[in-house]
């Protein structure tokens, strides 16, 4: 079974530039999550999708971050314009169904962003 | 609101000795608790979970965790540590009664196993 795919693995940009990350979840997983992991901290949820609908985006900085999952499969997370404090690893995860609290999350390897 | 605390930033243990990584939680209802491991430059991998039933849960790579409702703890344990167990360990919680399905993670504990 293929795992969660993310790209790019690494990205270096200057502040005020834009960047986009892509995620393809495990086939059949209805729920997709984007987490931000700053060095030395635990993952912080940015946005959670159930199919192509947003379940929670309360911690997404909407003035600069956006995410979409138009066809309920793969997803894109965009940052525009980037700030120095956005330097982090962006983790995508999927699970069968967010309405099942017992399910574990399956994570991709992450996209490491460095903002100079 | 649900929360998870991992009181130790780092745990050091000698190979062959038992290890414990601590986790406490706060929820409004019955918790669903998880442990994940993260190796360098990799995503998080699921280790084990407590949903209901036996308080001692067994998981991958010989790890186990003990759920203690009175102490609101879910400590990760292994009887004999390996150097290859060195990694970041994250505790996570999903609150059943709170209405939120969002998994919340602790800040992580770095486990270092010395040869």
Residue A101: closest CA among A54, A48, A58: A48
Structure tokens at B79: 């009887």
What integer best gives the mean pLDDT of chain A? 92
CB-based contact, B88 to chain A, within 8 Å = no
Asked if B108 lies within 8 A of A110 by C-beta distance, the reply is no
Residue B10 pLDDT greater than 70, yes or no: yes
Which pLDDT tens digit goes with each residue over A87-116? Answer: 999 999 999 876 676 788 999 999 999 999
Please say whether the beta carbons of A84 and A12 come within 8 A. Answer: no
Amino acid B2: pLDDT = 80
Structure tokens at B42: 């990799």
Residue B105 pLDDT greater than 50, yes or no: yes
Tell me how close the Cα of B114 comes to any Cα of chain A, in angstroms.
Answer: 21
Please say whether the beta carbons of B68 and B54 come within 8 A. Answer: no
* Segments in chain A below pLDDT 50: none
- Sort out which chain B residues have CB atoms less than 8 A from A105's CB and list them: 36, 44, 46, 103
Amino acid B98: pLDDT = 47
CB-based contact, B96 to chain A, within 8 Å = yes
Residues of A near B (Cβ–Cβ under 8 Å) read: 4, 33, 35, 40-45, 48, 55-56, 91, 93, 98-99, 101-102, 104-110, 112
User: Residues in chain A, how many?
Assistant: 116
- Segment (H or E) for B4: strand B3-5
A99 → closest Cβ in B36, B44, B101? B101
Distance separating alpha carbons of residues A79 and A20, to the nearest angstrom: 6
């Amino acid at each position: 079974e293929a795992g969660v795919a993310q790209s790019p693995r690494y990205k270096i940009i200057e502040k005020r530039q834009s960047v986009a990350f892509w995620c393809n979840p495990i086939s059949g997983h209805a729920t997709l999550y984007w987490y931000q992991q700053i060095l030395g901290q635990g993952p912080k949820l940015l946005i959670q999708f159930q199919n192509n609908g947003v379940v929670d985006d309360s911690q997404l900085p909407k003035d600069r971050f956006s995410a979409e999952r138009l066809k309920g499969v793969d997803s894109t997370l965009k940052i525009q314009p980037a700030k120095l404090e956005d330097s982090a690893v962006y983790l995508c995860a999927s699970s069968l169904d967010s309405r099942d609290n017992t399910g574990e999350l399956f994570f991709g390897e992450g996209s490491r962003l460095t903002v100079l | 609101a649900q929360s998870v605390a991992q009181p130790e930033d780092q745990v050091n243990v000698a190979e062959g000795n038992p290890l414990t990584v601590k986790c406490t939680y706060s929820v409004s209802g019955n918790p669903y608790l998880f442990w994940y491991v993260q190796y360098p430059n990799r995503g998080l991998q699921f280790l084990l979970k407590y949903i209901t039933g036996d308080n001692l849960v067994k998981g991958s790579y010989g790890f186990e965790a003990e759920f203690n409702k009175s102490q609101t703890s879910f400590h990760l344990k292994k009887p004999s540590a390996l150097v290859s167990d060195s990694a970041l360990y994250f505790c996570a919680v999903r609150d059943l009664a709170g209405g939120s399905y969002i998994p919340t993670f602790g800040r992580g504990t770095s486990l270092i196993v010395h040869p």
